[in-house]
Structure 1
Amino acid sequence: MIRSPRRLVAAAVSIAAGTALLASTASPAVTSAAPGTSLVSSTSTGAQSADIVVHSASMNRNIPLSVLLPKNRDKPAGVLYLLNGAGGGEDSASWQAKTDIKKFFANKNVYVITPMQGAYTYYTDWVNADKKLGVNKWSTFLGKELPSVVDSTYKTNGKNSIAGISSSATSVLNLAIEHKGLYKSVGSYSGCASSSSDMGMMYIRMVVKSRGGADPENMWGPYEGGQWKEHDPIVNAAKLKGLSLYLSAATGVPGKYDTPAYTPDPDTLSDQIVVGGTIEAATRVCTEMLASKLADLHIPATVDRPAAGSHSWHYWQDQLHKSWPQLARSIGA
């Protein structure tokens, strides 16, 4: 049983302290964009995969993304926007590097789009530029700029889903709230949606300040200000009505992947059990809070509660597999 979420997160802190697609053989260089537009370039990385670059007008920079293509590209297909965690795919911790998504989606008719940038930003629109992380308008990019580029470039059916892990498990809920009607479903794995509570703010400081070296108040303003509540999916849970919701978090108790058989490096395994276990226990508390609020509002949600497991990739791969049938139904995949 989880006794003190604030103490658990504090322990973790101390430990962890439109446009046209260029040919697939084209160079990844992006030509200059007209004001207010986004251009795409693409380099094929396999029969069903590509690395693309989209110019974000709101951030005035080029954003790299990974794309998995449908098995059958003759018919329109839905889109799954799949977000990386705190590192934004800029480090080695990404869906592409840590999971089987390329194999898993090889026989499925869906576009899978993953930004490979956005570390420690929570994929939100920051109120101020940050000395460390610069200008961040990720909600604008993901919710307004990118979908129009994707839909005009690929043969999509206009139906979107979004999923994310850890810090991005909060982001996907906020993105669905902010861009009503854009997504049909949301997968939120091991997140802390209680972003305006003491516990939630502590978790965000761990990601943005302790790991990213940035100022969290540049994200949503002063801690006591209204923007923190505006970006709290539990406070705004009523706005999730109508979405197909999948939530998951384990207990932090070591599970089958927290063993040398799956994580042979002793230092990595130790961090996974101690740090990853502590963080996962805290996200379980947050997930139960959101599940309870949704239940009070009579908003349906699938909530998966594994009895064991840490805050790590093998478990998130399992959750993607488990949630996929529900996400797929919502977008006609």
Structure 2
Amino acid sequence: MRVVESKPKTGSRRLTAVLVAVLTAMGLMGTAIGAGQSSAASYAGFWIDACGMPTNGAFGGGSMKPGQVKVQAWRKAGNKRTVILLDGMRAGYNRSGWDIETNARALADHGVNVVMPVGGPASFYTNWDAPSNFNGQRKAYKWGCVIDNRLVPALRSKGFASKGGKYAIMGLSMGGGAALTHAAQRRDLYYAAGSLSGYLTLSAPGMRTALRLAMLDVAPAPWNVDAMWGPPWSPRWTANDPFMLINRMHGLKVFVGSGNGFFGRYNYPGNTFDDLFKGTPLELLAFAQAKAFEAAAFVQGVPVMSYSANGTHAWGYWQDMLWNAKARGFFN
């Protein structure tokens, strides 16, 4: 899905402090520290093997280390948990959108180490069947291997805090469904999974066509969705559909957040067109799918920590969802 980014606004320190106090009291945020502010946690970024997928060049990513994936990370002595944050459809090649657009790194000052794998636009953080021939990709994405088989072992070997050797994983939009899928398929690696405005019923009528159209619109060139999980009738589609994996989520801590498509405090006059004609429809779809997922999970006896409020498909709302999850004990 296309991520519509909201442009940050500045305001007086006093107004910011008031907003933070009000939101904290309402339980919408655990702690809010402005993006870019100093942190007591230390940067602990590193590189991991790319499982043979492209990491350098026009469609592999701008990596300074061919064959390696950059991982941004912040940690603090005494922290007891670590979360892996997955990006959206337009993930950047050199820096995570979570770091650019939100204050997510500040979680490391509040008990939760933060890990952000960089890259993977239009990847759905999965292993692709083949390279995307529409844009000349030279090797197929292997993000399933990178996240599960390279990143998690690296976190363990580097001593990142865990819960019995398991980690939390959370993503937005494209990364939301991917986070739930990774956790459901690899219960040995993850104890908690969160989706923020994710698309959780990929088998629903029209969803495969919707993804096909969305991936044709991802810069710098269109991506061929058939190269990901094969044609629409391929069993890999249902194997990677969070809705179809609910029965494998028993005992997993699950968080599902979405806006309702209505304008909220992060919708600015200068961005009205994108918010109305892109952000609202995307979020309405995510909202509907979140509710369908939650209902199915209830029937199957899988508890879901649910969040919804006014908002469109934009970074400010995902930041609020992240801190709401923290305030409600999702990472515990």
- Equivalent residue in structure 1 for 2:291, among 271, 288, 291: 288
Task: Report what 2:258 is aligned to.
Answer: 249
Q: CA RMSD in A?
A: 2.3
- For residues 145 and 173 of structure 1, the distance between their equivalents in structure 2, rounded to whole angstroms, comes to 18
User: Secondary structure at 1:89's aligned position in 2?
Assistant: coil
Equivalent runs, 1:229-308 vs 2, <5 Å? 229-260=238-269, 266=270, 268-306=271-309, 308=310
Q: What are structure 2's unaligned runs of at least 5 residues?
A: 4-38, 55-66
Percent identical across equivalent pairs? 22
Task: Report what 2:194 is aligned to.
Answer: 187
Post-superposition shift, 1:141? 1.1
Task: Report what 1:63 is aligned to.
Answer: 69
Equivalent runs, 1:45-64 vs 2, <5 Å? 48-59=42-53, 61-64=67-70
Q: What are structure 1's unaligned runs of at least 5 residues?
A: 1-8, 14-44, 261-265
User: Secondary structure at 1:105's aligned position in 2?
Assistant: helix
| Kept in 1: contact 2:261–2:280 (CA 8 A) | yes
- For residues 69 and 92 of structure 1, the distance between their equivalents in structure 2, rounded to whole angstroms, comes to 17
| Kept in 2: contact 1:58–1:141 (CA 8 A) | no
Task: Report what 1:200 is aligned to.
Answer: 207
Task: Report what 1:140 is aligned to.
Answer: 145
Alignment CA distance shift 1:231-1:187 (3 Å):
same
Task: Report what 2:170 is aligned to.
Answer: 163
Alignment CA distance shift 1:91-1:251 (3 Å):
farther
- Equivalent residue in structure 1 for 2:183, among 176, 179, 186: 176
1:209 matched to 2:211: no
Relative contact order: is structure 1 or structure 2 higher (C-alpha 8 Å, sep ≥ 6)?
2
> What CA deviation, in whole Å up to 9, does each residue of 1:256-275 have, x standing for no partner?
22134xxxxx2x33202321
Number of residue-to-residue matches in the alignment: 277
AA of the residue aligned to 2:228:
M
- For residues 303 and 204 of structure 2, the distance between their equivalents in structure 1, rounded to whole angstroms, comes to 24
| Kept in 2: contact 1:254–1:310 (CA 8 A) | yes
- For residues 155 and 300 of structure 1, the distance between their equivalents in structure 2, rounded to whole angstroms, comes to 27
Task: Report what 1:110 is aligned to.
Answer: 112
AA of the residue aligned to 1:122:
F
TM-score of the two chains, using structure 1 as the length reference: 0.77
1:315 matched to 2:321: no
Alignment CA distance shift 1:178-1:255 (3 Å):
same
Choose 280-289 or 201-210, whichever is displaced more: 201-210
Equivalent runs, 1:24-63 vs 2, <5 Å? 48-59=42-53, 61-63=67-69
Task: Report what 1:228 is aligned to.
Answer: 237
AA of the residue aligned to 2:285:
A
AA of the residue aligned to 2:230:
G
TM-score of the two chains, using structure 2 as the length reference: 0.77
> What CA deviation, in whole Å up to 9, does each residue of 1:266-310 have, x standing for no partner?
2x332023210111001111111111110110111111121x210
- For residues 120 and 88 of structure 1, the distance between their equivalents in structure 2, rounded to whole angstroms, comes to 8
User: Secondary structure at 2:214's aligned position in 1?
Assistant: helix
Alignment CA distance shift 1:291-1:190 (3 Å):
same
| Kept in 2: contact 1:185–1:245 (CA 8 A) | yes
